[in-house]
Amino acid sequence: MAREEFDYIVVGGGSAGCVTAARLVEGNKTVLLLEGGHSNRHPLLDTPPGIFKMINGSKFMHYHKTSPQEHLGGRAHDIPQANVLGGGSSVNAQVYMRGRPSDYDAWDAILRGNNDGADWSWNAVLKHFRGMEDNNRLNNAFHSVDGKMQVSDPGHIDQISRWFVQAVQGMGEPFNPDFNGPTQRGVGFYQFMNRHGRRSSAAYAFLTPLEGDKRLTLRLQSRVERLLIEGGRAIGVEWRDTSGTLHQSHARGEIVVTAGALITPKLLMLSGLGPADHLREHGIKVIADLPGVGQNLIDHPEVPIIATANGKYGYFGQSNGWRMLMNGLQFRLFGTGRILSAGVEAGAFVNPTDPHAEPSIQAFCVPIVYLDRDTLGLVENTYGLTITTVVVKPKSRGEVRLRSANPADMPIVSPNLLKHPDDMAAMIAGQRFFIRALQTAPLASRIRKIAIPDPEHLDDDALTAHCKRFVKTNYHPASTARMGADGDPLAVLDARMRVRGIAGLRVADMSAVPDINAGNTNAPAMMLGDRCADFILDNQ
Ligand SMILES: Cc1cc2nc3c(=O)[nH]c(=O)nc-3n(C[C@H](O)[C@H](O)[C@H](O)COP(=O)(O)OP(=O)(O)OC[C@H]3O[C@@H](n4cnc5c(N)ncnc54)[C@H](O)[C@@H]3O)c2cc1C
């Protein structure tokens, strides 16, 4: 068979990968985009509440199970990751969040001294965020209307979400009309990556306009198993189609890996790039000893507070078929109603211990008694709300390791959520803060019962036990092949996202970040994909 060759190969068509591939094609390069998952064209993915199905069981997801987490009493929890074109941007809750300026200025402080001298400061990344954005309300120094990613105010806001916003104001927090503006602090309504109830994923926004473009070769359900490296240069990839046939494709230019923070390190390790001892354990020939690959896993931990309502406030529980049918009908006929809600409408960024310091906690107000594997049977399935609290700058670090040298095996993932005592202390303070919100007007008079945690027992021991029992991922794994300073032994990438010691290879997804941003991670992942394309097109 003839050797198949492209200018560039992008491995993984997720939030970052779609953007990188599209930008390279627009730069007149030929690109092979290999996506392991399915097509993103499915009504469940398009409509905002589809998220609930995604979290709980769908072919569009892969469900990683963590190794038993000793500090959580041996509990293991799921980490769902996308298995579909568009990646996380096709399955997520669509909350549009960038993090805050200090996140990126801190990256820049780490990377600034590097020989390649790339600028990662807030001013440098803001241009990419704005460049990708088409906002339906804002157009100013922080926001733009000219980009391809549609960002909109919520299409539907439940009354209980409004009471949440008022209750937190009642506690002295300011109303924040724009969490992606000059300050994160306060309470308000999120913006979402959608328009008129239709998801604006990286796939829809960036790849759909290129349909039919001969420079882009997109292959779905094509799972990359390893990178081909010769003489210190990445020259191609080996991938398997659904019939089980193994193929090789080659790149004249570079290969960009964007398979997500749990799979990118696995692919690097299977290709001989990673901690030498660990690779040898699995009989993999070491090409570059990169001890940082798979290390430094960071994720945002979330813990729920669930309250039942004393009236028909919020959405009625789950598994209520006829109501969902009515909501669907209303959306089809009038384009209005609850289908326009991604299940979260309001939120907050607060610092419960020092209101004037940067926020330590992000909260999501979900206008439903949200029942999952951990809470089902424990909490009555009725009207109410769930507030999840998230530590935005966690100090806990975990890891991704190979289970075996077999590419079909999922990696072993240990995120160590809340293992660092400072993370637990921050989470406990966040829980107490938002329990108080439930006891503040106008929410207080609508709450029948705070179901979890037990409001009679809010001492440190009781809340620690609650957090250990219910903590799970906020779906933001990151930093497993991170950019770092020259001379940092755990730095996998330089500041231009190039894998250290290997030519022609970059990583451009959430694996690459030196630290996690304070807030959701989809827009940052897309920004990384955009920046990577710039580096490549500028020959940097
Ligand atoms: C359920 C859920 C809800 C979320 N909610 C939000 C939210 O509301 N707001 C927000 O900002 N963020 C949210 N996120 C997080 C955000 O979507 C992710 O951080 C972001 O999508 C990560 O982008 P990425 O490019 O790093 O990886 P991904 O988008 O995960 O892309 C990786 C891609 O690689 C593919 N792939 C994997 N292995 C292979 C292989 N071997 N060969 C080829 N392809 C492969 C995958 O199928 C996937 O398409 C959520 C995530 C999830 C899972």
Cβ atoms of residues 174 and 165 within 8 Å: no
The pair of three-digit structure tokens given for residue 238, joined into one six-digit string: 């080996």
pLDDT digits (tens, 9 = 90+) for 12-34: 999 999 999 999 999 999 999 99
What is the position in ligand 1's atom list of the atom closest to the CA of 477?
19
Distance 195 CA to ligand 1 centre (A): 20
For ligand 1, whether the C-beta of 87 sits within 6 Å is yes
Of 504, 499, 507, nearest to 478 by C-alpha is 507
Among 38-47, 199-208, 476-485, 528-537, the range scoring the smallest mean pLDDT is 38-47
Residue 419: its H or E element: none
Q: How far apart are CA 12 and CA 210, in angstroms?
A: 17
- Bridge-partner residues for 30, per DSSP? none
Convert the pLDDT of each residue in 39-79 to its tens digit. 999 988 888 777 777 777 789 999 999 999 999 999 999 99
Q: What is the pTM of this model?
A: 0.97
Residue 283 CB neighbours (<10 A): 8
407 burial via Cβ count (<10 Å: 0-12, 13-18, 19+): middle
The pLDDT-based confidence of 113 (bands split at 50, 70, 90) is: confident
Do residues 394 and 301 lie in contact, with contact meaning Cβ atoms separated by under 8 Å?
Answer: yes
Amino acid letter for position 525: A
CA of 438 to the centre of ligand 1 (A): 33
Show Cβ contacts of residue 458 under 8 Å, excluding neighbours closer than 6 positions: 431, 432, 435
> Which H or E run includes 330?
helix 321-334
The string of pLDDT tens digits covering residues 217-271 is: 999 999 999 999 999 999 999 999 999 999 999 999 999 999 999 999 999 999 9
Q: pLDDT tens digit string along 493-508?
A: 999 999 999 999 999 9
Ligand 1: does its nearest atom lie under 6 Å from the Cβ of 263? Answer: yes
Q: Which residue minimizes the CA distance to atom 23 of ligand 1?
A: 15
CB 66 within 8 Å of CB 418: no
**CA–centroid distance, residue 445 to ligand 1 (Å):** 39
CA of 172 to the centre of ligand 1 (A): 36
Structure tokens at 421: 């005592």
Do 14 and 510 touch, CB atoms closer than 8 A? no
For atom 37 of ligand 1, the residue with the nearest CA is: 259
- Specify whether 196 is catalytic: no
Q: Mutation test of ligand 1: which of 9, 15, 222, 227 has the most ligand atoms closer than 8 Å to its C-beta? A: 15
Cα distance between residue 476 and residue 509, in whole Å: 12
Average pLDDT over residues 178-197: 96
In this prediction, residues 275-279 reach a mean pLDDT of 98
Task: Say how many Å lie between the CA of residue 406 and the centre of ligand 1.
Answer: 22
Return the best residue to mutate from 179, 476, 527, 531 for the ligand 1 pocket (most ligand atoms within 8 A of CB): 476
Q: Which residues contact 92 (CB under 8 A, 6 or more apart)?
A: 51, 54, 82, 475, 520, 522
